[in-house]
Structure formats: structure tokens, C-alpha cells
Amino acid sequence: MSLFISTAHAAGAPASTGGGMEMMIMLAVFGLVFFFMIYRPQAKRVKEHKNLMSALSKGDEVLTQGGIVGKITKVSDEKDFIVVSIAEGTEVTVQKGAVNAVLPKGTMKSL
């Protein structure tokens, strides 16, 4: 046709495209990896923390997220707050969710 443009010819046989089954298998594998490596451990940590918060009682020695170590003097179930005694005559009100760990009895005296 033209002197400067060569004529393009189509390939004889169409290239086979990847089937949808391989894509579904890869999607399922990624879903399983996501579930077992990300979702499941996080859900387990959340469950353990909820159990910890529900088991808090007066007299427990706790460590808060801010690094405060103290003894629980009052637990408020309806408002989800606790009063923590840091030292003699010093009390702090914190949310139950701010408690990281319950320490063994006598930890405050050893510090």
C-alpha cells in the first residue's frame, strides 16, 4: 500500500489465555496467607486482652500502656474505668483498655 509503512499481518493461531482457575487458586492462597498470618494472631491478641480486662479486680497490681505500675483500688464496671494507686495518697483514674498486664503480687514492693 504505502512505500513507508509495511502491511501488518495477523498471527495464524490465537494465543491461549490463562484460565480463570489459576487466578482463583492464587486468590485463595493469598486469602489463606492473610487469614493465618495477619487476622488470626490479631484476633487472638484482642480476645486475650478482653479476658484480661474482664478479670481485673481490686488489689491487682497492673502495668499500664504509659508505663505506670500501680495497685487497683477501685473498679467501675459500668464506665470501664479503674482507679490505680501509684504511691501512698496518689491515685490515677485510667481506662481498663490502658492496662497492658497484670503483675504478680509484691511486684511494686520489689521495684
Please tell me what DSSP assigns to residue 3: S
Per-residue pLDDT of the chain in tens (111 residues, 90 and over written 9) = 566 777 766 666 665 566 678 889 999 999 999 999 999 999 999 999 999 988 999 999 999 999 999 999 999 878 889 999 999 999 999 999 999 999 999 888 888
Per domain, the residue ranges of the chain are 56-110
- On whether the 56-110 domain is CATH 3.30.360.10, my answer is no
- DSSP result, 52-110: HHHT--TT-EEEETTS-EEEEEEEETTTTEEEEEEETTEEEEEEGGGEEEEEPTTHHHH
